[in-house]
Structure 1
């Protein structure tokens, strides 16, 4: 089987190379993420200025309680959505394992998908080869990988020992996939920033060009599904089969207006509590917010190659290709794009460090990168709002995006935990005033009730993600040790969320003051990452 390598520059397309430079320069000095920060900061200052303004201060307790109550309502909705998704995943898992005829039926159905081929692309910079090999090993397990699955590995020209790594990849895997393509993304292309977005954009364009030019491949004969993933993704062995099943249920229009997202678990052999808790919460928000609220895909996701090309691949001047994907494809294709769940588990590696201090630094850097990426996407959306296919869709998506990234992830924990203390302290020194509906004693009681309900939600999150999902090869959360660790980490969840929120708030301020200069893809370190053994086996 031929493998293909490329290091030539590809500057064509609406958002690549020179055109990306023009797009970036047009909006360099008006950064709409300032509106994002201003709204969050004004919101967080309510408990400080409201108690000091005559007449307005009478409603302070009411406003604080109603606001925290609304946050609790969001958690309730997200929890219900997450429970429904957990049930769907477990039902699929039971159907898969209970009857042998289900396997025969799946095999027979798979024959109907013989015109579908898969392309999976990932990028590599300084990550250890062992991490990449774990991902490729999970792809080898996919049904008909040798006859229907092509893999693109996009390296940077600056990747250390790139030629040796390319040779190692090809020696081990070129006979296990239909095609194996390795590209080298050149540095210094005008308008691009270094990172996964620009590397993936280049790898996709070059990879598809190579496949189209391959006479033996017969590109035009097949319908192609593309999967974008990180180099530390471990796929369920039935990922491509489940994807084909869901893909084939839709008509032509819906197939090419959809992005499929599996539920991702973040695992490695050992993790500090804050890394572990962040991974649990991210999985919960996959099931409870990102997919059902149709906000954005994350980490690795799938779509038709037709949609990938119509959406101009990935934007090389922005750092978070997953957060920007849905809104970008909606704007460019002028049709609403839907995120559809795949009821199976995939595994990603969380951040890792050589020691505890390094773990904290890597965790904070990752939170910072996600936050700055979200701010950049908000800027991109506002600049492009006039191109959205409908005012309602524009307002709806912006509202959902802001509620999640601005309020749920950044402001809600700070407001819910700290604002009641601030209000009570200011009330002690402020001029006496009547309380509207809610006295100070009742205010304190309700505050503790909300603290209890928040921990109840977090307990449900813990049970769902740690012990209810059918995660393959999971010994980390099993047994007495796993249960004890899970309950201890449940207690530490709220302090971790608070720390996360403060890092987010700092990152929004950093983006406001430093602007585009801070929008770089500082990838989390994977040097010490060891995924849980057996993670790719069901």
Structure 2
């Protein structure tokens, strides 16, 4: 196990000692602690540069030969991650059953944000449920991107020159970077074991919503930064792979998460206040689309009814409260779209200056 700290982390020596004592009898062959130096050229102080440095130091210390790297899988995670005991076995089994696709596949476990999620506001809970649902229904099956906690062969990492230390979204940047060096669109294979992740939290509902908006803004700005990186690197990729991934990325982040809800809102307002004598068939289509949307949202809540039990998470959500969260889902998604719309204009106007990482507060976990 490799644990990487930043040089400016307070009490890092004590933390290393504490973690050594906590995990020394947990079955790891060895524990490697790395300290990422502050102020290295062309690097930013974030998870991306820390992971890049930690991986490089671990490979060097373990003296791993290139022909052995196909047999080593790396899993990157966050501090607010809880893995089920079956994770490593499921990952290994999937990798072997797929005949060790070392240079073509990245592995993603479904992330569920049920870490004390029942104690948070409807805004945070609905967002968490939708993120998990969209990961299962879009990000993984359409090979759009991995998200924060994922696994990959070490040989793919080495071929792609490890992790870019200058971009915040290391998960998507890795995918783009590695597509360039392998000259193919990488496949994201699902690991059939969920991982528990922590949602954004706050001391009060007001603070929680403010931090939720900041988090949504940060994700959007980083996604825009990622797309800029992709546009630069796309010329080095096969055209079909680059075009197919770029279109999927735009549809997901640009249409589904941003403009889709705004288009629905403006269409509804124009039909209500501006357009006279709307044909009945148009009204029926609009109502049908709304019903289809709510039916889709219900799948996310249905999944949430089973996942906490599967992950042994104790939650207390009564039916009236769950129904209220379900009804407010389109409004939460609309609010998210407004934040995205604002953030995209920030990027257009201010450029790189707004591409800064602000970690989300999770003090309630």
- Per the normalisation by structure 2, the TM-score is 0.93
In structure 1, what is the Cα distance between the partners aligned to 2:342 and 2:364?
A: 27
- Asked if 1:255 corresponds to 2:91, the answer is no
Q: Given the alignment, which residue of 11, 15, 23 partners 1:173?
A: 23
Is 1:288 the counterpart of 2:127 in the alignment? no
Cα distance in 2, alignment partners of residues 249 and 441 from structure 1: 54
Q: Give the aligned partner of residue 52 of structure 2.
A: 201
Distance 1:391 1:511 in 2: 27
Report the counterpart of residue 215 of structure 2 in structure 1.
366
Question: What SS class does the counterpart of residue 492 from structure 1 fall into?
Answer: helix
- Flag structure 1 segments of 5+ consecutive residues without an equivalent: 1-150, 429-434, 530-538
Alignment gaps of 5+ in structure 2: none
Determine the structure 2 residue equivalent to 1:267.
Answer: 114
Q: CA separation in 2, counterparts of 1:353 and 1:469?
A: 22
CA shift digits 1:276-304 (9 cap, x unpaired) = 11110011011100011010011211111
Does residue 526 (structure 1) correspond to residue 353 (structure 2)? The answer is no
**C-alpha contact 2:109 2:191 (8 A) present in aligned 1:** yes
Q: Distance between the aligned counterparts of 1:341 and 1:305, measured in 2?
A: 18
- Which consecutive aligned stretches of 4+ in structure 1 deviate over 4 angstroms post-superposition? 219-222
Shift of 1:496: 0.4
Deviates more, 1:414-423 or 1:299-308: 414-423
Q: Which residue of 1 aligns with 2:176?
A: 327
1:83 match: none
Q: How does 1:69-108 map to 2 (within 5 A)?
A: none
Q: Secondary structure at the match of 1:154?
A: strand
Counterparts in 2 of 1:221 and 1:349: CA distance versus 1, 3 Å: closer
Residue 242 (structure 1) aligns with: 90
Partner in structure 2 of residue 376 of structure 1: 225
Q: Does 1:482 align with 2:331?
A: no
Verify the 8 A CA contact 1:156 1:187 in the aligned structure 2. yes
Q: Cα distance, 1:424 vs. partner? A: 4.2
1:434-513 correspondence to structure 2 within 5 Å: 439-467=278-306, 471-476=310-315, 481-513=317-349
User: Which whole-Å deviations, capped at 9, do the CAs of 1:155-181 have from their partners, x for residues lacking one?
Assistant: 111112222212211222234321111
Equivalent runs, 1:275-424 vs 2, <5 Å: 275-388=124-237, 390-424=238-272
Aligned mates of 1:225, 1:180 — CA distance in 2: 16
Which residue matches 1:138?
Answer: none
Return the offset for 1:332: 2.1
Query: Which of the two has higher C-alpha Rg?
Result: 1
**Contact kept? 1:192, 1:316, Cα under 8 Å:** yes
Determine if contact 1:323/1:377 at 8 Å carries over to the other structure: yes
Q: CA deviation at 1:423?
A: 4.6
Equivalent residue, structure 2, for 1:45? none
CA RMSD of aligned residues (A): 2.1
Q: TM-score, normalised by structure 1?
A: 0.64
Q: 1:482 to 1:325 in 2, by over 3 A?
A: farther
Residue 12 of structure 2 is aligned to residue 162 of structure 1: yes
Q: Deviations over 1:110-155 (max 9, x none)?
A: xxxxxxxxxxxxxxxxxxxxxxxxxxxxxxxxxxxxxxxxx11111
Number of matched pairs? 361
- Report if the CA contact (8 A) 1:197-1:314 is conserved: yes
